[in-house]
């Protein structure tokens, strides 16, 4: 994460009369939740050899989706359907719900922002885990909510602690990722179901399932389509291999799903994006191949970790988080050494999770580059 930067106050420019931000906007730092690898490459003056830091799916998108994008590119003079009718129908069929249960948006990031906007007013309490997905926190700050953080329990988000904190603070919203990022851990579906049953009155569970297609059977929670206590989020960035597309969706009870129409950017999901989503959902063979590829990749990354004295944590995702065996300073030094050796990886930002580095599954070349660089980077630390 980039630190808080000091911006010139808007008033000060050349002494001219200028717009003044709202007090809330004025108070917000100009942080970005994540610094992209391209920014790092520009600062370094050198490209990365292996791009293993953003949990992208190096297996790539479905060939059917690529063909659909190419065809849609030629028709891109037309606005996309603002109701995303075909895409919502495809998603609904995929999940056995109706299109009224589906919200489509510009990635889970965009949808989380809209959800927070709909539910969280100034000072409203929101609960997440200390070290969980930073972009959610960005949105809570952006709408002036008050964020409360429960610690992880070991390498797992802790449903009991989240619920207790929600009860204590009167939270409107709890964020839980299952599987978890950045640790790669997961809870069984039954744990999530029990958490939903125990939610305090008036508190919604935002269940981020970005990685669930890559998780073991029995991870995906069984939730009634009309259950108003939970909204679940899915993405085409991970198992579908299209992070650069920007397409996510949410499944929720129709009243909540429809409420997004009050605030969303109605034409925000464009024509190419919609076509790609429909095609990708239709390619079950590709999804199975990605699952098999991810399983093999987890084993390979685990092997590389162990060969170098790191402990690979069990992963239900397309990345492996590796316990470096010491403290955050040690892991940060290793991260820095890997980056210096042209390997783009990231790591958890909060102790004690920050004893780890987080490595995405790569293609053969990227995995080989990581395997070659890791012992050298460890040696660099002395």
Quote the Cα angle for 275-292-153, to 5°. Answer: 95
DSSP state of 21: -
**Is the Cα torsion angle 59, 63, 64, 69 positive or negative in sign?**
positive
Question: Residue 128 burial by CB count (10 A; 0-12/13-18/19+): exposed, middle or buried?
Answer: buried
Least distance (Å) between residue 120 CB and a copy of itself: 7
Nearest-CA neighbor of 163 among 134, 192, 135? Answer: 192
Least distance (Å) between residue 343 CB and a copy of itself: 16
CB nearer to a copy of itself: pick between 207 and 305: 207
Least distance (Å) between residue 269 CB and a copy of itself: 8
Question: Residue 25 burial by CB count (10 A; 0-12/13-18/19+): exposed, middle or buried?
Answer: exposed
Q: Residue 147: in which H helix or E strand, if any?
A: strand 146-150
CB nearer to a copy of itself: pick between 72 and 287: 72
CB nearer to a copy of itself: pick between 26 and 327: 26
CB nearer to a copy of itself: pick between 150 and 231: 231
Give DSSP secondary structure letters for 213-232: GGSPTT-S----TT-TTEEE
- Tokens 């599954």 correspond to 361
Cα pseudo-dihedral 81, 83, 86, 90, rounded to 10: 140
Least distance (Å) between residue 306 CB and a copy of itself: 27
Q: From CA 80, how far away is CA 87, in angstroms rounded?
A: 11
Least distance (Å) between residue 368 CB and a copy of itself: 18
CB nearer to a copy of itself: pick between 125 and 203: 203
Least distance (Å) between residue 79 CB and a copy of itself: 4
Q: Where are the alpha helices (DSSP H) in the chain?
A: 23-27, 37-44, 63-74, 85-95, 107-119, 134-142, 159-169, 189-197, 254-259, 271-282, 284-307, 328-340, 364-380
CB nearer to a copy of itself: pick between 107 and 312: 107
CB nearer to a copy of itself: pick between 265 and 303: 265
CB nearer to a copy of itself: pick between 70 and 307: 70
Least distance (Å) between residue 143 CB and a copy of itself: 9
Least distance (Å) between residue 307 CB and a copy of itself: 27
- Tokens 């709408």 correspond to 143
């Amino acid at each position: 994460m980039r630190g808080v930067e000091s911006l010139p106050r808007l008033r000060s420019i050349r002494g001219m009369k200028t717009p003044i931000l709202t007090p809330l906007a004025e108070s917000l730092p100009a942080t970005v939740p994540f610094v992209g690898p391209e920014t790092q490459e520009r600062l370094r003056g050198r490209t990365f050899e292996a791009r293993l830091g953003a949990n992208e799916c190096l297996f790539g998108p479905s060939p059917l989706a690529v063909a659909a994008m190419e065809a849609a590119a030629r028709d891109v003079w037309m606005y996309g359907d603002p109701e995303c009718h075909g895409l919502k129908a495809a998603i609904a069929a995929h999940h056995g719900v109706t299109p009224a249960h589906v919200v489509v948006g510009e990635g889970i990031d965009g949808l989380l922002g809209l959800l927070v906007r709909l539910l969280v007013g100034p000072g409203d309490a929101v609960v997440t885990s200390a070290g969980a997905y930073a972009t959610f926190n960005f949105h809570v700050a952006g709408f002036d909510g008050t964020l409360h953080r429960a610690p992880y329990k070991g390498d797992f988000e802790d449903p009991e602690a989240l619920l207790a904190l929600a009860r204590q603070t009167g939270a409107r919203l709890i964020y839980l990722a299952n599987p978890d990022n950045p640790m790669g851990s997961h809870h069984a579906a039954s744990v999530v179901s029990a958490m939903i049953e125990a939610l305090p009155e008036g508190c919604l569970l935002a269940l981020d399932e970005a990685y669930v297609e890559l998780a073991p059977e029995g991870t995906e929670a069984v939730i009634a389509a009309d259950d108003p206590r939970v909204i679940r989020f899915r993405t085409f960035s991970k198992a579908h291999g299209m992070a650069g597309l920007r397409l996510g969706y949410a499944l929720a009870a129709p009243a909540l799903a429809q409420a997004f129409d009050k605030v969303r950017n109605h034409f925000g999901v464009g024509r190419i994006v919609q076509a790609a989503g429909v095609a990708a959902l239709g390619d079950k063979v590709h999804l199975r191949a990605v699952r098999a590829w991810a399983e093999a990749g987890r084993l390979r990354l685990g092997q590389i970790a162990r060969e170098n004295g790191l402990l690979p944590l069990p992963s239900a995702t397309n990345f492996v988080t590796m316990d470096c065996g010491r403290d955050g300073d040690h892991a940060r030094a290793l991260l820095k050494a890997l980056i210096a050796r042209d390997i783009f990886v990231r790591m958890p930002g909060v102790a004690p999770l920050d004893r780890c580095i987080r490595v995405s599954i790569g293609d053969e070349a990227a995995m080989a580059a990581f395997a070659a660089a890791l012992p050298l980077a460890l040696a660099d630390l002395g």
